[in-house]
A = this chain, B = another copy of it.
């Protein structure tokens, strides 16, 4: 991994964690289990790829860090909400997440559902606040875009397709659509948000979203490859879970070799969308290469 990228990702992760720690409510009274569950779900680490993409894209347009950090924190709340709900017994029934008990394992199912609901809600509260951007029209566009990325035609539709794939084999086209919804929408929003905060041109905004779409799909294919052939110690979770659950993945539909080739092709395509940007976009180019080459 490129050292500059390594440092930038580490810095972004630390800053977003600090921002979330300040923004999230602190334990008190009878609400303590709810607040603790929200914090468990939002502060337990992970790569913080989405916040990093918000900050990096916003930096390309000279956005104040205070604004991009709030936007990044809001997006991370949504991502963590989705993980909490995806892990529930009725969904993927995951007992661990990032090497720790999943939220429903640690706090019970009812509290996990509510903590997810509260994190999702909190994201919109953060974005609507004047501190996120001086122009209310920009805040509204962020909210509209985020809601569209999450909702019934976005990430949540992707989860529905994912669950449908447990009972039937999804063809490659449906699988791509599922992943472009389930993972791609939030990654797409991450890059678009930076452009919106920075009053980028429509062309720039669309190029960044296209970059994120292809890079996000490559990200998911690599996830499937890591589940198939990865190192459980590096992953912080079990591997081989997809195959044992009979889930359709990019590896199960076309084999590991073709999946790897597809990820490489998508990465090149993603980087191609950045041709209109100069060296400002180098960190994004590095990110796409990292997503392809990562081992966890």
Which A positions have Cβ atoms within 8 angstroms of B?
25, 30-31, 33-35, 38, 81, 85, 88, 90-91, 108-111, 113-114, 116-118, 120-122, 124-125, 127-130, 135-137, 139-141, 143-144, 147-148, 150-153, 156-157, 159-161, 163-164, 174
Contact = CB atoms under 8 A, between A and B. Distances in A.
A17 B130 CA distance: 33
A135 B35 CA distance: 34
A174 B30 CA distance: 10
A161 B85 contact: no
A81 B174 CA distance: 28
A80 to B, nearest CB: 13
Interface-central residue, A38, A116, A137, A152, by most chain B CB under 10 Å: A152
A144 B161 CA distance: 32
Contacts of A153: 25, 31
Given A31-B161, A120-B121, A140-B140, 8 more contacts: A38-B152, A85-B113, A111-B160, A114-B160, A125-B147, A128-B140, A128-B143, A135-B136
A90 B109 contact: yes
A121 B120 CA distance: 8
Given A88-B113, A91-B113, A139-B140, A151 B121 contact: yes
A52 to B, nearest CB: 23
A264 to B, nearest CB: 29
A287 to B, nearest CB: 27
Contacts of A148: 125
